[in-house]
Amino acid sequence: MFSKEQTQVLYLPDLTWPEVEASLPQIKLAIVPVGSTEQHGPHGRLQTDYAAAREFALRLGQRLYPKVLVTTPVSIGFSEHHIHFPGTLSLRASTLIAVLIDIVVSLRKHGINRFFFVNGHGGNEAALTIVINRIKHEMGCVAAWSTLPWDLIGDLSEDFTRSSITGHACEKEMSIMLYIWPDAVKKDALAPGAIRRDAFGSRQKAKGIREATFFDEITENGALGDATKASVEWGEKAVNTGLERILPYLKEFMERKIGS
Name residues contacting a second copy, limited to 211-250 (CB under 8 A): 211-214, 221-222, 245-246, 248-249
Number of residues that make up the chain: 260
Q: Looking at beta carbons only, is 142 or 165 nearer to a second copy?
A: 142
C-alpha closest to that of 68 among 247, 202, 196? 247
Nearest approach in angstroms of CB 93 to a second copy is 4
User: Could you say whether residue 39 binds a second copy (CB under 8 A)?
Assistant: yes
For 252, residues 6+ apart whose C-beta sits below 8 A from its C-beta are: none
Return the residue of 63, 151, 157, 163 that touches a second copy, per CB under 8 A.
151
CB 95 within 8 A of CB 78: no
Return the residue of 7, 158, 259, 260 that touches a second copy, per CB under 8 A.
260
How does 63-101 read in b/e, with b if 16+ C-beta sit within 10 Å? Answer: bbbebbbbbebbbbbbbbbbbebeebebbebeebbebbb
User: Could you say whether residue 103 binds a second copy (CB under 8 A)?
Assistant: yes
Nearest approach in angstroms of CB 151 to a second copy is 4
Return the residue of 31, 76, 170, 227 that touches a second copy, per CB under 8 A.
76
Return the residue of 162, 197, 210, 259 that touches a second copy, per CB under 8 A.
210
CB 75 within 8 A of CB 93: no
User: Could you say whether residue 102 binds a second copy (CB under 8 A)?
Assistant: yes
What's the DSSP call for residue 4?
S
Region 116-145 residues binding a second copy, contact defined as CB under 8 A: 125-130, 132-137, 142-145
